[in-house]
A and B are shown apart, each in its own frame.
Chain A
């Protein structure tokens, strides 16, 4: 089983609809992230959370919200989806106890298409 699990893996939704992407991890890490990947633009950080009570905006948080329901769960919501939010979304985790060089572990990604 994957250490970082994202659901759904693929979703097509209509403009204006609310969509939630869920992420759960079994690595026991305290830090969780949501990234977005667009062709030719690499990965960009949407939100990150250092623990259940600590949530922070990343580079491109507009149009998104998150919820850290538990240490192992971090969900990303698009309250009113728009076509330019069509992208591949990644959840990721890292362990603060390892130190500043900590590695980030990624889920397999969620393809979201907004039509």
Chain B
């Protein structure tokens, strides 16, 4: 069963605009990760935020985590056509948990 649920399911923006994707989850987590998938390709890890962190940056990516609301957001600033992909959040439950549970993804289209 899916732990994370991304919102929106699809997002279309113009190049240069910011893209915001949200992820909600159901149970307590140890960390939350965001992955990117180009069409038909493997997933690539983007960024990880731990449960005791509230915000994290990596280049044009900004991730926030609100454990009280069980939600996270991924912001891509100054989007580029090459950012077109599907973005997935994934949660790891406990410190000793083996399993990374993925959401259904947000499909981002950046129009040149």
Contacts and interface: CB of A to CB of B under 8 A. Distances in A.
Interface residues of B, number: 28
Given A42-B103, A42-B104, A103 B31 contact: no
Contact of B98 (A31, A103, A111): A31
B48 A104 contact: no
B95 A106 contact: no
B95 A90 contact: no
A33 to B, nearest CB: 8
A101 B50 contact: yes
Contacts of A31: 98
B102 A42 contact: yes
A11 to B, nearest CB: 15
A43 interface: yes
Interface in B1-57: 1-2, 30-31, 33, 40-45, 48, 50
Contact of A106 (B44, B48, B92): B44
B40 to A, nearest CB: 7
Contact of B105 (A42, A59, A109): A42
A88 interface: yes
Contact of A50 (B31, B33, B98): B98
Contacts of A35: 102
B42 A100 contact: no
A64 interface: no
Q: Top 4 A-B pairs ranked by shortest CB distance? A: A106-B42, A42-B104, A43-B102, A103-B45
Interface of A: 4, 31, 35, 40-45, 48, 50, 56, 58-59, 88, 90, 100-101, 103-109, 111
